[in-house]
Amino acid sequence: MRTIKLQDAVAMIPTGATLMVGGFMGVGTPEPLVDELVRQQKGDMTVIANDTAAPGTGIGKLITSKLLRRVIVSHIGLNPETQQQMLAGELQVDLVPQGTLAERIRAGGFGLGGILTATGIGTIAEEGKQKIAVDGRDYLLEPALRADFALVHAFIADYLGNLQYALTARNFNPLMAMAADTVIVQAENIVPVGVVAPDHVVTPAPVVDYLIAKG
């Protein structure tokens, strides 16, 4: 892990990259990284996230700037701009049940090929998907999700890259930190090594590639 300037971190992300972005309606989203993506006009991207937040908040800024080609999310109900772009054919939206989304990301981080879930059986959600019977019950095979980059927000990071999260801002961040080729972290506080006790570490340093430098 090494520290890096915000603009240099975003400069590493190529056009057309697949990103995982932490957050739940913007809570726990690394806003400085999102703002820098907009400033550098990184486009044609795929974003995997819980939602597209709202206009002016979190991933909503990427939607407004029309920098996304595709989103894989659990809902878009609070962002009318996402809905408008989807209906206009400007944005591909893959809606995934929230629990299924979390498990697909976890599977990607843990080296699994996918998960079996009964969610969606008997609905239009099963169309085009492989069904597998286990002990007489049908399940859908949902493939694992991985990304080129994970943009993670933490409450505390130490100078090795060990991370802690605060309350509900934790949400998808720890899962996404395990499921991307390159992990970029924006932390509210950076503290000396030893301040975060080993048994309080949520995301361990070895999975973090870059920590955004303060100032």
**Can you give the pLDDT of all 215 residues of the chain as single tens digits?**
899 999 999 999 999 999 999 999 999 999 999 999 999 999 999 999 999 999 999 999 999 999 999 999 999 999 999 999 999 999 999 999 999 999 999 999 999 999 999 999 999 889 999 999 999 999 999 999 999 999 999 999 999 999 999 999 999 999 999 999 999 999 999 999 999 999 999 999 999 999 999 86
Q: Which residues contact 181 (CB under 8 A, 6 or more apart)?
A: 146, 147, 148, 149
Residue 81 inside a domain? The answer is: yes
CATH number of the domain within which 163 lies: 3.40.1080.10
- Give the number of domains in the chain: 1
Residue 125 inside a domain? The answer is: no
Residue 74 inside a domain? The answer is: yes
Question: pTM for this structure?
Answer: 0.96
Residue numbers of the domain that contains 183: 2-112+145-212
